[in-house]
């Protein structure tokens, strides 16, 4: 589900991928439902591609969101992330991801995570898995398989009957000249 949820640099909130066009994507805001185009110059990141720093391996965002959902028992985060002080944010996040890297995960990252989590819940998204909801299949190279339209048959060639050949010979149309 998180593959279709996008963050766009310079635009607040999260967006759902609606459609793809030539050199652009059509996205829809999770907050107000407004649709807008984004172009190749915009930096767009899928939530499935984001991870958080830990003391060991980086933890994918879907695992962090699932842990936060479990800790909160499906409820939104109760405090205002914008107004919380840095120690409160770090203490809260340590309960969710105990081994997060305190040097590389900034309070602004935790604020953004809490805002995104609350926004996803408000939009009714509680499945934080990475898989898409079906529809398109991919081949071994990861390219999307598309059902090809049946190919059109070649136009039928006219078959000359004996009668049309005789008319052609009399009129000289289509006849071979020697």
Walk me through the domains of the chain, giving residue ranges and CATH numbers. Answer: 2-122 (1.10.10.1650)
What integer pLDDT is reported at residue 83 of this predicted model? 87
Q: Average the pLDDT over 122-129 and give the result.
A: 87
Q: For residue 7, what pLDDT band results from cuts at 50, 70 and 90?
A: very high
Is residue 138 predicted with pLDDT exceeding 70? Answer: no
Q: For residue 137, what pLDDT band results from cuts at 50, 70 and 90?
A: very low
Contact 1, 125 (CB under 8 A): yes
> Could you tell me how far CA 48 lies from the centroid of its own chain?
9
Quote the pTM value.
Answer: 0.70
Residue 13 tokens, joined: 């909130």
Nearest to 165 by CA among 176, 149, 154: 176
Strand partners, 46: 6
Q: For residue 69, what pLDDT band results from cuts at 50, 70 and 90?
A: very high
Q: For residue 114, what pLDDT band results from cuts at 50, 70 and 90?
A: very high
């Amino acid at each position: 589900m998180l593959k279709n949820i996008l963050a766009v640099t310079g635009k607040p909130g999260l967006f759902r991928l609606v459609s793809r066009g030539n050199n652009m994507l059509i996205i829809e805001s999770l907050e107000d439902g407004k649709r807008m185009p984004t172009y190749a110059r915009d930096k767009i990141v899928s939530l499935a591609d984001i991870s958080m720093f830990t003391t060991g391996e980086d933890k994918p965002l879907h695992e962090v969101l699932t842990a936060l959902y479990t800790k909160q028992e499906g409820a939104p985060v109760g405090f205002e992330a914008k107004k919380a002080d840095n120690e409160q944010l770090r203490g809260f996040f340590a309960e969710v991801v105990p081994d997060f890297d305190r040097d590389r995960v900034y309070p602004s990252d935790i604020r953004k995570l809490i805002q995104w989590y609350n926004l996803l819940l408000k939009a009714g998204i509680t499945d934080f898995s990475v898989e898409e909801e079906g529809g398109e299949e991919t081949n071994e190279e990861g390219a999307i398989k598309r059902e090809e339209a049946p190919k059109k048959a070649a136009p039928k060639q006219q078959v000359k009957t004996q009668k049309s050949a005789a008319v052609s010979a009399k009129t000289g149309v289509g006849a071979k000249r020697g």
